[in-house]
Structure 1
């Protein structure tokens, strides 16, 4: 994919995950726009220091400009995101439900669906995929490797929209990881905290074995 053809990436959340992703994306040649908490009055200064090259925008501007939207806010704040504005957008759920941080959310605890299925139901017109959540933010930069490296780590993408999965797979490859297609969004449970793929250093074949159906899109 040529730089000119690369999608503009919007990131909701300027914390450790969001800024680590922004640095990697900018380094890979992507146009990155970010937004953070309204309480972060110095957001533009923060981003210029920790993610130079990324732009800061309002949530409305971000959605208007971005082809791919990454959600990296705390899970407990998911309801505050502008879900109705995500129609037709590829939306990457990079959030993790952490009861020690978020508290126990009864509606989530009692729901048999994966957390990404719950998120996707907020706007069925959004093209929601689950990814970028099962590798630690500090590992994203440390473990990024060139394509073909024998020790290259894998990162999964699941979602019901096959084209959205393919687009994100290309982004993951550019970030320095082998993308693995994990199939429908229901398979995202394997990527959640406490489940098989979360936090583990896995190659493409190992990660694919934990996801059914699976296909290594890096091949």
Structure 2
């Protein structure tokens, strides 16, 4: 497939590498220009491109930029055909993004981004830590393979995103429509807890919409008090323990 990843940070850069290694035609766009894309992101064959050019004639566009910056792409995406699948990987953290009243009042994160962009989006790759995505991908059929939820209002767009999740080394799980994607937002049992395909449905069902933002903020406060950087395994365990 012809894929563009906008953003070359920890998650976007990893997706560019993995999807190009899987045989896809991958371009990477950055608002700062092609020269801002690190060479390491392009090591599997992805190409850096100017942002306006990078979104033209593509099958899939993956948005891997901070949550509060997604609306800035509305003009860039305005000329993109409706059939192009747009995937949102972002998460809302008020202490990083600043307060957004609509989301604080309960609007589902990716529904907000879809509204701001003026087009549908798919929610995927948001519920796994960057370290998990970088180091724990495995071939399909591997015992204990970690699962990633995918939500969208279009069955076809969800199917496409699920195939790409599989290509990056994770079991895709059909998490239903975008309005239900709050179940994979920060502070929920399914968020960054490295669950398998058998475990993930129970975690999604156990999500508490009112409690999730409080759990998110409580976890951020806890991490801020740590005197040493926790390992990936320690972060996952802390996230899991928050729901016990």
2:168, 2:93 → 1: CA distance? Answer: 25
> CA contact under 8 A between 2:5 and 2:28: conserved in structure 1?
yes
Structure 1 gap segments, 5+ residues each: 1-6, 213-219
In the TM superposition, residue 75 of structure 1 has moved relative to its aligned partner by: 1.0
Pick one of 139, 142, 166 that aligns with 2:135. 142
| Residue equivalent to 2:71 | 79
Structure 2 gap segments, 5+ residues each: 206-244
1:88-112: CA deviations, max 9, x gaps? 12110101111121121223212x2
With normalisation by structure 2, the TM-score equals 0.77
| Residue equivalent to 1:159 | 152
| Residue equivalent to 1:50 | 41
With normalisation by structure 1, the TM-score equals 0.85
Looking at both structures, which has the greater relative contact order when contacts are Cα pairs under 8 Å and sequence separation is at least 6?
1
- Which structure: larger Rg? 2
Q: How does 1:110-129 map to 2 (within 5 A)?
A: 110=105, 112-124=106-118, 126-129=119-122
**2:181 is the alignment partner of 1:188:** yes
1:191, 1:75 → 2: CA distance? Answer: 15
1:118-163: CA deviations, max 9, x gaps? 1112345x34110111111121121101111111000110010001
Q: CA RMSD in A?
A: 1.7
> CA contact under 8 A between 1:70 and 1:93: conserved in structure 2?
yes
Aligned pair count? Answer: 201
> CA contact under 8 A between 2:14 and 2:133: conserved in structure 1?
yes
| Residue equivalent to 1:91 | 86
